[in-house]
Structure 1
């Protein structure tokens, strides 16, 4: 989840700007993600069935949780792709005692971000405010928190080939991510470019629950550039549950400083 690493870098850099004053109700931290089983060959039309599950998932609300062990971080939230509306909380462990937390709310075409854990600079304490941002001005990694569907399961799995399953619950195959045009929690455009031909055949596995929704996806990203081989995974649950994305109001809101857009979009 390279986007998380970039966002951490961006927010630490932004502290200088802050100083200028300008299926369960509980997310399981140990929720399982799909693992590959040996030689699945039984299910007929596996690719069509997986595509149908991805399309069904994209039409409803859901909760999600993703982790990036290499960056010591997690992100979880809920989203309504149709509204669109979403909330998210991203936590990054900087060391044993310090962490950064980003909370976001997207509702009614507006986007709000709240940040805690930034070093004090003696200026405005931004952690006390929801920063109202203009989504049109955000082109960097932060944009994934404002996405209608930050997982984008349908778009990802539409690129699947060699799809197999032996039980209709676990699917495996490869993804052609060479034409990826948007960043998401599972994959990003920069990785696709640097992977070159490797991006045309990236191994994946996906779980489908008994109700026909995609409940987990794991992508095994090959090594590229200075990046070691890694796995990106996400767990989805709570399909159809309401999304409470209520926009903050009054004195708890301040406009995001213009300089911060420059810092975030440069990442």
Structure 2
């Protein structure tokens, strides 16, 4: 999702649903010779490749609530994901380089509904900032100029780790739960993880971008780091996604009662620029 100045496009979803099918091939091992009985031969499943193991570790709809964090060259996001509720909470903070104040914006999404909470800090001596209620502000997408930019529930893999791993051209296991390899950022849905201009600027190097990944003892992906090389005027930077606290993180629920209200006109004026 591209959020302009509201929330950065760090954790854009590139597909509505990422389906990962891991098919284990069965090897029939015979004893050889004319008297061997194929029907009685034992069957063994092929061990999953490192890439298959990583894909299986990507969050899916069966997971319990978990926390996530992510960052790229321009932004940092953190929050919660609750697949059972089709809910997530995204928090983004950005400091104004010129005036020095910080805007902390949080979106809460439950299915098709979205709420927003905004807080400004470091504003001493400043005037003109919008005065918003401190409650959760329920947004009407029809009143947003760019409704498509507002976050929606599109699946639990908010960091796009599935499309990235699917585009991996090499994956090696480097120890218990540790993996490394290269990803082709021009392939499939991985091509949409970065902005198109940035991918074009990377040129041939976009086809073999190094990455590392970590899978926890519970089989869940805990971290993926993509080392994006320098391109044009942009310096090299890490694209990082972290997932943790699977099954123990707080659930995401719709704010109710005095904790929420409909967003006032000034909230839409801020969002619509």
TM-score, normalised relative to structure 1: 0.67
Which of 130, 136, 139 lines up with 2:148 in the alignment? 139
Larger Rg: 2
From 200, 219, 225, give the equivalent of 1:218. Answer: 225
For residues 83-98 of structure 1, the aligned pairs below 5 Å read 83-94=85-96, 98=101
Matches within 5 A, 1:92-241: 92-94=94-96, 98-117=101-120, 125-134=131-140, 137-140=146-149, 143=151, 147-149=154-156, 150-178=158-186, 179-180=188-189, 187-241=194-248
Aligned alpha-carbon RMSD (Å): 3.6
Q: Describe how 1:70-89 pairs up with structure 2 within 5 A.
A: 71=74, 74-89=76-91
Q: Displacement, 1:57? A: 5.3
Q: Deviations over 1:158-215 (max 9, x none)?
A: 111211113241111111221447866xx45553344343322211100011111111
Structure 1 residue matching 2:233: 3-state secondary structure: coil
Match of 1:247 in 2: 254
The change in CA–CA distance for 1:225 and 1:4 in structure 2 (over 3 A counts) is farther
Any gaps of 5 or more consecutive residues in structure 1? 11-42
Pairs aligned (count): 223
Greater mean alpha carbon deviation, residues 88-97 or residues 221-230: 88-97
- Structure 2 SS opposite 1:50: helix
Q: Which one has a larger percent helix, Structure 1 or Structure 2? A: 1
C-alpha distance in 2 between matches for 1:7 and 1:191: 21
Does 1 or 2 have the higher relative contact order (CA < 8 Å, sep 6+)? 1
Gaps of 5+ in 2: 10-46
Q: Which deviates more from structure 2 when the two are superposed, residues 92-101 or residues 76-85?
A: 92-101
Deviates more, 1:84-93 or 1:106-115: 84-93
Aligned to 1:18: none
Partner of 2:25: none
Please tell me whether the aligned partners of residues 185 and 191 of structure 2 are also in contact (alpha carbons under 8 angstroms): no
Contact in 1 for aligned 2:90/2:107 (Cα 8 Å): yes
